[in-house]
């Protein structure tokens, strides 16, 4: 249970929020980081982007070491 909370915290807040912010900025959102992250109530998309980035990084490392 504690590990689940830690992974969710890492994926959602540290990685997911930053990737979500970059995606929103690329789309053309003019708000700052605090407004984008705190006003968006759908953390599912941010969690998914965090997991997607980690999986992409793992696949990249596996392909490079093979």
Q: What is the pLDDT of residues 11-62, one digit of tens each?
A: 767 777 788 888 888 888 888 878 777 765 656 677 777 778 888 888 998 9
**Token duo for residue 45:** 């998309």
Q: Average pLDDT in the 1-16 region?
A: 76
Higher pLDDT, 46 or 64: 64
| DSSP assignment letter at 13 | I
Cα diameter, the chain: 43
Q: Average pLDDT in the 6-13 region?
A: 74
CB 53 within 8 A of CB 19: yes
Give the pLDDT confidence score for residue 48 in this predicted structure.
Answer: 77
In angstroms, the Cα distances linking 14 to 19, 62, 64, 65, 66 are 9, 23, 25, 26, 29
Rounded to an integer, what distance in angstroms lies between the CA atom of residue 13 and that of residue 19? 10
């Amino acid at each position: 249970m504690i590990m689940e909370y830690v992974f969710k915290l890492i994926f959602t807040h540290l990685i997911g929020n930053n990737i979500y912010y970059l995606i929103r900025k690329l789309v053309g959102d003019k708000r700052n980081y605090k407004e984008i992250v705190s006003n968006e109530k759908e953390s599912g998309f941010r969690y998914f982007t965090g997991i997607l980035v980690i999986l992409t990084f793992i696949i990249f490392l596996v392909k490079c070491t093979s």
